[in-house]
Amino acid sequence: MRLATIAGATPDGTLVVVSQDGSRMLAAGPDMPNLLGVMERWDAAQPKLADLARRLEAGEGEPLDSAALRAPLPRSWQWLDGSAFGTHGDLMQIAFKLPPIETDRPLMYQGLSDRFYGPTDPVPFPDPADGIDFEGEFGVIVDAVPMGTTPEEAMKHIRLVVQINDWSLRTIAPVEMKTGFGWVQAKPACSMAPFAVTPEALGDGWQNGRVCLDLAIEWNGKAFGHANGAAMDFGFHELVAHAARTRDLVAGTVIGSGTVSNPNYAEVGSSCISEVRAIEMIAEGKPSTAFMGYGDTIRMEAQDSDGFAPFGAIDQRVAEPAAR
């Protein structure tokens, strides 16, 4: 099942169910106006949404206007981002001569969740000197998760899977990290691909709490990377359990994987500019790849072995801020 949100009368938009080929939709209806509300009563809503999905595959539905698509979850109560790909962390530590992080726990921080950019929204930044960078990753949306949930129990709370661009401002990040209070300015709003997908709809692309798909990334129309999400050191069920160790997780919480990164990065490329710069620093002593500038474009599209893109594509442009 694929869910999407189109522009509506409220900031949460209007929830629709989308056909497998992405061409048609059916509105979820007045009792399920938006995805955030649906997450709060998933067990009751899921059978109704599944029935709409079956009707779509039988030929019902109206044309889907891709220009109306927003983030499938335009805003939520909580966004927690992990850093679950060990290769990415190792490269950054080597390049910047940082000591290893001595922990057996997943790494995670809490970021901005009052908005997620839609898949084709231009994204404004105040100054390219802040080091504008994209980060391709996957995420999950959970229903209500009780405090103390185990990884095994957490798996059943993962209701939807999404594809995310976690925008970062790299020259601000080190300054904020040194304060010991974490990121605020360095982590603006993220973007989401248009379709949120149930785990079972991914088929073999969902295994052991991981999205086992290549994340194809193009920067300014040129291939940048196609790392696979299977290489997570911790699966999403383990990230959910980690987040819920000392607190309940409210329904609609989004949890990210961190930058998708593979040990064979020389072959498959990377999912953010900062990792490429780290590789250059290790090999050449200094980085040579610049960060993004105004007018730059970024496209991200997870694909299976047949080239099918279950989440659709993020296709965005870096923009100047609106005049005040």
Whether 140 and 240 have beta carbons less than 8 Å apart is answered as yes
> CA torsion sign, 269 to 121 to 139 to 128?
positive
Q: What is the pLDDT of residues 241-250, one digit of tens each?
A: 999 999 999 9
pTM: 0.96
* Per-residue confidence band for 173, with pLDDT thresholds at 50, 70 and 90: confident
Can you give the pLDDT at residue 103?
76
- pLDDT higher at 62 or 95: 62
For the stretch 76-94, pLDDT in tens is: 999 999 999 998 888 888 8
Residue 31 CA to chain centroid, in angstroms? 27
The residue ranking higher by pLDDT, 136 or 182, is 136
116, pLDDT greater than 70: yes
pLDDT digits (tens, 9 = 90+) for 145-157: 999 999 999 999 9
Q: Which whole number is the average pLDDT over 213-218?
A: 98
Structural domains in the chain, sorted by start: 1-70 (no CATH), 74-319 (3.90.850.10)
pLDDT band at 99 (very low <50, low <70, confident <90, very high): confident
Q: How far apart are CA 188 and CA 148, in angstroms?
A: 30
Percent of the chain with pLDDT over 90: 88
Least confident window among 50-54, 99-103, 201-205: 99-103
How far apart are alpha carbons 271 and 258 in whole angstroms?
A: 10
As a dihedral over the C-alpha atoms of residue 35, residue 40, residue 46, residue 51, rounded to 10 degrees, the angle is -50
Euclidean distance between CA atoms 21 and 212, whole angstroms: 20
Q: How confident is the model at residue 324 (pLDDT cuts 50, 70, 90)?
A: low
